[in-house]
Amino acid sequence: MCFVVASVAAANAAGGPKPSAKPNFGPNVLVFDPGMQQAAMQVQIDKIYAVEQHSEFGPARYAVLFLPGKYHLDVPVGFYTQVLGLGATPDDVQITGNVRSDASARNNNATTTFWRAAEGFSVTPAGGTMQWAVSQAVPFRRMHVRGNMVLHQHRGWASGGWMSDTLVDGNVDSGTQQQWISRNSDWGSWTGSNWNMVFVGVPHPPAGEWPAPPYTKVAQTPIVREKPFLEVDAKGNWSVRVPALQTDSAGITWRGGSTPGRSIALNRFYIARPDVDTAASINAQLARGKHLLFTPGIYDLAEPIRVTRPNTVVMGLGFATLRPTQGTAAMTTADADGIEIAGLLFDAAPEKSPVLLEVGPQTSSASHAKNPIALHDVFFRVGGAGVGRTQVNLRINSNDTIVDHTWIWRADHGAGVGWTSNTSDNGLVVNGDRVTIYGLFVEHHQQFQVLWNGNAGRTYFYQSEIPYDPPDQASYTSAPGVNGWASYKVADTVTSHEAWGLGIYSVFRHPNVTLTRAIEVPRKPDVRFHHMITVALDDKGEISNVIDDKGGPTSINPRTTPRVTEFP
């Protein structure tokens, strides 16, 4: 099902801008302006939610865009739906009413509430509290909540999420959230904790220290760019804002006005359409020097998208999905400065790919310290919507790369799911040096979830469930005398690495399968880990140690959740 793009009306007395030319985003992008009738907008929002409320593995993709101005609406956000404000700051787009994510399963269960986003606007919630009951792959960026916020639905289960560059005037209640990362955000107060809550560059983190409550606090974000975003100025000109590189930062970027950075006119982007474009047509536009914007939909690719020029911006709307159909990568980049990739879902196909996204060729060696490659809200899926196979999901060869939120998921439910059906060795392989990752979610792959070969890597927040479905121990053994594959593996050749706030969990479905250690690292003075927890979520098997030979086993009766505060 699809809907006609909402027409952009002329400016009204409320001051809505009149765009000089409305981009052709295709049928699954709605563009609203404050001069439109509220009832007409609500009808279109409700139609999208009717499609996407329970469509966990469906084909539809949508983006709902709001031009600067004031709105009174109820905006439920379902699967594969991205809601965006088009102002320079979140306060340029003001929605009074509800913007909400409801638990997608029964009994207020939000553990499968995935693939949706709210970015770049302010919300004055009805009743004073905004409900955002979510789990993985749910960006919440550049937001201003003029009230309180809850990260669960009536204290039902919820399993992790992301917040960045966001201001909440009141209280944030994480409640039953199992884990969460907040980066460069601020609030009146924060309540709640469970297993692993990480705060990076947050000026007012909650009181308390690991392990009780399980808070990991890093005062400053060492290096990051915020995600590129669409904006429309007072004259109606469309552009993409590319935020500037920040070092040692804390708090939001827009407190003093617009986010520092540069703007690229939208006419310098090729706007791709899934019903029109192929990999060849997209690559031809990239070769001409165009930036790239994927409109919502599923793109079947007979060859990789090749991003070769420095400072190219590649971004997706509405969880645009790239699926390689011929056993190739979906996307590769050159070892070039300043490439930005944002807002894409990479979905493996039945023909096995060697990798889904490769950042830099394996011969990469250049320094990008002054102008790093950055990935924002890039998500990966193997199985669930159908059989999918890959060896590696994300491989990073370029030095100094920044990853700002990723979920790399081998499906544990849905279609095409099984130990020999949706196959994937590794979620993430890092070969580059000085790679920094915020919000690393990697789950269910059949060997190391993360294999880190580069030096001077840093991870801020890690969440991982190891695979549910090894049929027996012989199928799940990484070395003689070592049961399973560690979730987070730092290669023996690495001399420096550091990570903060890691949670690794088991849900073994077959008896007599165990994991010797959740994290496996070389004993080197500059390999340091802070704040780790393991939990067994079912009654079979165990994780025998948290990191190398430290921490001891998980158990169910009585429930034991081993924690290690510092290693070594």
The residues annotated as belonging to the active site are: 465
Question: What type of residue is 365?
Answer: S
| Gap between the Cα atoms of 139 and 118, Å rounded | 7
CA pair distance 47, 248, nearest whole angstrom: 44
Q: Are 229 and 142 in contact (CB under 8 A)?
A: yes
Q: Which residue has the tokens 């196979």?
A: 389
Q: Residue 345: left if φ>0, alpha if ψ -120 to 50, beta else—which one?
A: beta
Residue 347 CA, distance from chain mean position: 14
* Continuous segment of H or E residues that includes residue 93: strand 93-100
Bridge partners (DSSP) listed for residue 347: 381
CA distance 392 to 364: 18
d(CA 550, CA 361): 36
Q: How far apart are CA 326 and CA 351, in angstroms?
A: 6
Residues whose CB falls within 8 Å of the CB of residue 251, separated by 6 or more in sequence, listed in order: 184, 185, 186, 201, 202, 203
Q: How many residues does the chain have?
A: 568
- Determine the Cα–Cα distance for residues 77 and 70; give it in Å rounded to an integer: 19
Return phi, psi of residue 47, to 5°: -65, -40
Q: What is the DSSP letter of 115?
A: S
Tokens for 368, please give them.
Answer: 């990008």
